[in-house]
Amino acid sequence: MMKRRLMMVERIMYVDSKTPLNCVFTAKISGELPEGHFKNALVKIQQKHPLLRASIDEKSERYPLFVEDREIAPIPVRIVERHTDEDWLRESETEWFSLFNEEKKPLARLVWVRGKDVSEILWVMPHCISDGTTGVTLMRELFDLLDDPSLELKPYYAFNSVNDFLPTDFDTKNKKYKAKLYLLFARAFFLLQRKSKNRNTGKNYALHRKLDPVTTSLITEKCKANGISVHAILCAAFMQAFQEIKGKKAKGKVISPVDVRHFIPEIKQDHLFAFAPTVDLAIKKGSSDLLNNARQIKTDLVQKIETMEARELLWMGEQMHPIVDRMIAMLKSSNGGHDVTLSNMGKINIPDDYKNFKIETIFSPTVAFPWLNSNTLVATTYNQQMDFTFMSNENFLPKEEAIKIKDKAIELMTTSL
């Protein structure tokens, strides 16, 4: 039975029991989806993943815990009738603010936007148990089981603490000394900070854009021809777009999450996990050479990934629990030093053609961060179509400005290469 403390980064993404921070993953399907198959599929998925049989206990100990519950309820499905192609986005925004705080209820739910010939399926989970790879895994498992109810999934054991991921030669003694210094400096930093009353009081929103296969192919082929990655051109284009629209207020920096599974193979591709180490990527202020910026970003990203110590980052984070509440308070009140958090999930590895239905498309995940700087871009590619969701808060980045930034970035990628 799993009973473990939330990791430091999980605590940040949990925030607290009164603050929703949910990820929503959506796919569009054509064909018949028998309602009875959902129950079987969700039971098997819940039996596989320990975090889907757990709740969060804030009362038993100083810090919140994941506690597995043998009497946990099944993953619920909410069905709504489909009227337009935009219903999924409205339902996604509704689910951002629905808490996972009911006793005996799991940390996941499904929304079925049901139409006669076309439906959207939305997986909803708190960010503290889910990264992008988690959403892809659960979507793929759901479709496999809806198509073949006899399929069996292999359960796995939950880890007990980050120590499970440490190598035998990990120098805990010296690392503890380093961690104590970091904690001391962090406490001093927070003591020197003036308490800010800044908060996002506006409405969260999500913008969506899907490129057609021809435009997507144009971007990817030109990236190959110029020796740059799609991720690098995304970062360069959006930073330049921020500069052109925001002027001197632009920061010229993005925060880019990296899948931790690249560094810690014990965390399998089909395991639920929330921690994604990040790298900062920047361009020179005023620089408008998209290709040169993208080349520099690619070089910087490769260097930072090569030197990243993900296991040590996990362990070091666990020494920072005493200041997590201050970190959260700062995120809620600070403008930050970046334009946007940019997550490029790349090609989505889910088949499009099943025996009984077809996956028309997959939309990039949506999320509404409660931070003051809630600018978030997620990019995915499925069926040769690049897809974007751009989220923020009207109070921090007016929606009209966000539309201009999104459109300018896509224009740069399609006309400047």
Predicted confidence band of residue 201 (pLDDT cuts 50, 70, 90): confident
169 within some domain: no
Across the chain, mean pLDDT equals 94
Which helix (H) or strand (E) covers residue 135, if one does? helix 132-147
Q: Are residues 64 and 143 in the same domain?
A: yes
Reported as half-sphere exposure (CB side, CA atoms, 13 A), residue 211 has a value of 24
Please check whether residue 186 lies inside any domain of the structure: no
Residue 250 shares a structural domain with residue 397: yes
Domain boundary among 147, 169, 184: 147
Query: What are the pLDDT digits (tens) for 284-303?
Result: 877 889 999 999 999 999 99
Residue 251: closest CA among 261, 238, 262: 238
Q: Which domain holds residue 76?
A: 3-147
**160 by DSSP, 3-state: which?**
coil
Torsion, CA 400, CA 402, CA 408, CA 410, rounded to 10: -130
Of residues 201 and 352, the one with the higher pLDDT is 352
Helices (H), ranges, 247-308: 290-306
Mean per-residue pLDDT for 60-69? 95
User: What integer pLDDT is reported at residue 286 of this predicted model?
Assistant: 75
| pLDDT at position 34 | 87
In this prediction, residue 280 has a pLDDT band, given cuts at 50, 70 and 90, of: very high
Q: Are residues 128 and 245 in the same domain?
A: no
Cβ–Cβ < 8 Å for 137, 145? no
- pLDDT score of 338: 97
Residue at a domain's end among 111, 131, 147? 147
**Which is more confidently placed, 172 or 69?**
69
Q: What integer pLDDT is reported at residue 315 of this predicted model?
A: 92
End residue of a domain, out of 115, 147, 179: 147
- 248 domain residue, yes or no: yes
In this structure, the answer to whether residues 329 and 206 fall within a common structural domain is yes
User: What pLDDT is recorded for position 191?
Assistant: 75
Region 32-61 average pLDDT: 95
Claim to verify: residue 113 and residue 227 sit in the same structural domain: no
Q: Give tens-digit pLDDT for 371-401.
A: 999 999 999 999 999 999 999 999 999 999 9
| Mean pLDDT for the stretch of residues 5-12 | 96
Kindly list the strands in the beta sheet with 109-114, ordered across the sheet, starting from the edge strand earlier in the chain: 77-81, 109-114, 118-126, 22-31, 357-367
Q: What φ, ψ does residue 358 adopt, rounded to 5°? A: -130, 140
The residue assigned the tokens 């929703």 is: 20
The structure tokens listed for 53 are 């049989």
